[in-house]
Structure 1
Amino acid sequence: MNLARRAPALFNFKKNVLAVAGCSGPGKNWEENWKICEMKAPNAFSCAAFCQFADDTAFAFGGFDGRHCTRQSLLLRPSLPYPSSVHSLAPLPYGVKNGVAAVAGDCGERLLWLVGGWDGHRTLKTVFEYAFPEQNCSLKHILPYPIEGHSIAKSSVVAPQKAFIAGGFDGIGLRADFLAMDLRTGAVELIDGIALEKPRENHCSVIFGDGQGNEWLAIIGGWDGHKALADWEMFELLPDEPWLRPTDIGPWGEKPATLATARNRPATILI
């Protein structure tokens, strides 16, 4: 990249990767993007929640501007010429960073879920519904525990109405737990008996498929409370509870390698 970045928002637009904003050091948050296009966010930020509808529509919510948790909501459409490709939506009712976002199931391009995060005062245990294009945000559910610095990944095949929330920080310590979200309703429940080997925050989640109806969830990197991590943890997706099964073997048929460099607060996108 043209800038070293921590906690950017990351998108896949027609197999072109777009890294939006992020920070390069204490107080150094960016509005610049990394891609072969001219785009710029209206304000510098890092640590936003982000998600993507399709090849040409994505959202970023909240973030940190170097001093405060922000309320911003951004609509990104890189297929349009700049500045029309970046549009500010109605702000959130609260400032938040280190949350996650997911597109609701069976709702086309109308609903998103905003889960957890830090509002500048406390770690949140909230699930908000964001309606688009109405630009309304309302509280829908309460999580089993407060959480920030967690990750989220959606199943496409094995459990297509589920998203899995992993790890994070609950305001006191790191979590190793998994939560399962029903993307149709936003309801979240703790997955009993399934946990990470290493409690962690600021990590990434991505779900791989093999094209034959199987999927695996990879938990990558992060922070264990003392150091940045380079390892992966793998889980096979199941069509029913408990939804996940730990495994050493991924879709490539062998144990995943560690990252070349330990990373705290990276971003991942599946190509």
Structure 2
Amino acid sequence: MKNYLALPLPALMFLGALVSSASAETKRPAPQPICTSLSIDCVVSQNSGYDNGLYPYGVPTIFGWYAGGPAATGNGAPPSDFLALTGWGQIYPQVGASNVAANVYLKDYRVYVHLTSGGWQLVQDQAMNSVAGGHYVADFSNDSSSPMSLVVQPDGSARMASPASGHNDHFWIFPRGSYTPGTVDGVFSIAQLRTDNARANLIANFGADWWRSASAPYLNQDGVFVNNPAVGMGAWVKLTTTYQYFFFTTMTKSQLQAEPPPPLK
């Protein structure tokens, strides 16, 4: 077996985007968006900003992404001089449920950008790229983390251990995906996840960061991610022992219907 490199990614994301716990609680609850087949409706269900009643253990309730993120805003253009991005995911123990140790398997993770001229460009693909990550402190305070092994399985999936209470599994594809500046106005990613323990209470979501270039260093100045502003993140979804699809997109339902990304055609 080959181990994926566990390189630190200091770039998470939204720690400055705070809301009151009261405002998070007033979001309209939505059914759990479990997606075992491919459809635009499933994509939208995970990217519409609804509070699904699933919350990540150890994340302060005042954090804007405590209840998940509204990704599909229809406005996914990067800064005009940026030319790279990275897809990422995160897995947490569920608030109010027991945290039983398990393994988690990630497969078929792909990230696409939508071109202003029309069409989609595949910029990251687990089958051709690598996956790295770490067990980060749940609120990402001080960018503290411990190593996390990601082991390639015979089917090409990556196996990782579930996070301990107070931590997460945060993973990303590398190298960064590249595109021509000024040609991108949206993002779509797709992956499959499962756990091997039916008693594990784990939730996950996916997102992405823009990067200034394929090699720009992480730079946080007064709480501003100078070289890697966040694109967004999707809803929390509970893992099961069978693979299910996880989606992240900045595109609205009507945009996806007008020009479906390749996995949905």
TM bucket, shorter chain: under 0.3
Structure with a larger share of its residues in helix: 2
Higher RCO by CA contacts (8 Å cutoff, separation 6 or greater): 2
Q: Normalising by the residue count of structure 2, what TM-score does the alignment of the two structures yield?
A: 0.28
Q: Normalising by the residue count of structure 1, what TM-score does the alignment of the two structures yield?
A: 0.28
